[in-house]
A and B are shown apart, each in its own frame.
Chain A
Amino acid sequence: MGLATLSGYRITFAVLAQSNFISLVRKDLLIEWRQKHTLFGVLLYVGSTVFVVYMMNGQPDAKVWNALFWLTQLFVAVNSVAKSFLQEPANRFRYYYTLVRPATFLLAKMVYSTLLMVLMSLASLVLFSVLLGWPLVQTSLFVLISMVGSISLSAVFTFLSAIAARANQNAALMAILGFPLVTPLLMILSNLAVKAIAPVYQPGWWSLALVLLLLDALVIVLGVVLFPFLWQE
Chain B
Amino acid sequence: MRSSWWKVLGALLVGFAVAGGLLLPVPRLHILNETIRNLYYHVPMWFAMMALFTAGVIYSVKYLRSGNLADDIYAVGFTYTGIAFSCLGMATGMEWAKFTWGEPWSNDPKELGTALCMLTYFAYAILRGGMKDEEKRAKISAVYNIFAFALIIPLIYIMPRMVDSLHPGNGGNPAFAKYDLDSDMRMVFYPAIIGWVLLSFWIATLKIRLSLLTYKKEFNIDSNKFDFDKNKFDA
Tell me if A229 counts as interface (CB < 8 A to partner B). Answer: yes
CB distance from A227 to the nearest CB of B (A): 8
| Given known contacts A163-B127, A167-B131, A184-B155, A208 and B162 CB-to-CB distance under 8 angstroms | yes
Number of B residues contacting the other chain (C-beta, 8 Å)?
28
Looking across the interface, which residue of chain B has its beta carbon closest to that of A169? B130
Majority-rule SS of A interface residues: helix
Alpha-carbon distance between A129 and B75 when the two chains are bound, in angstroms: 49
| Given known contacts A218-B151, A229-B142, A180 and B120 CB-to-CB distance under 8 angstroms | yes
Kindly supply a per-residue 1/0 record for chain A positions 74-87, scoring 1 wherever the CB is within 8 Å of any chain B CB and 0 otherwise.
00000000000000
Binds B, one of A52-60, A141-149, A171-179: A171-179
Alpha-carbon distance between A10 and B150 when the two chains are bound, in angstroms: 43
Query: Hey, which chain A residues are within 8 Å of B123, CB to CB?
Result: 176-177, 180
CB <8 Å contact, B150 and A218: yes
| Given known contacts A166-B136, A173-B130, A211-B158, A180 and B64 CB-to-CB distance under 8 angstroms | no
Band of interface residues on A: 20 to 34
| Given known contacts A173-B127, A176-B123, A176-B126, A222 and B150 CB-to-CB distance under 8 angstroms | yes
Query: Hey, which chain B residues are within 8 Å of A163, CB to CB?
Result: 127, 140, 143-144
Tell me if A42 counts as interface (CB < 8 A to partner B). Answer: no
Tell me if A159 counts as interface (CB < 8 A to partner B). Answer: yes
CB interface residues, B 149-172, toward A, < 8 Å:
150-152, 154-155, 158-159, 162
Query: Hey, which chain B residues are within 8 Å of A12, CB to CB?
Result: none
The number of A-B residue pairs with CB atoms under 8 Å apart is: 71
Alpha-carbon distance between A218 and B146 when the two chains are bound, in angstroms: 12
Tell me if B19 counts as interface (CB < 8 A to partner A). Answer: no
Tell me if B36 counts as interface (CB < 8 A to partner A). Answer: no
| Given known contacts A180-B152, A219-B151, A188 and B143 CB-to-CB distance under 8 angstroms | no
CB <8 Å contact, A177 and B146: no
Alpha-carbon distance between A166 and B146 when the two chains are bound, in angstroms: 16
The 6 closest A-B pairs by CB, nearest first: A180-B119, A184-B155, A180-B120, A180-B116, A177-B123, A226-B143
Between A and B, 8 residue pairs with Cβ closer than 8 Å are A177-B144, A180-B119, A181-B151, A184-B155, A208-B162, A218-B151, A222-B151, A230-B139
Task: Name A's B-contacting residues (CB within 8 A).
Answer: 156, 159, 163, 166-169, 173, 176-177, 179-181, 183-184, 187-188, 191, 208, 211, 215, 218-219, 222-223, 226, 229-230
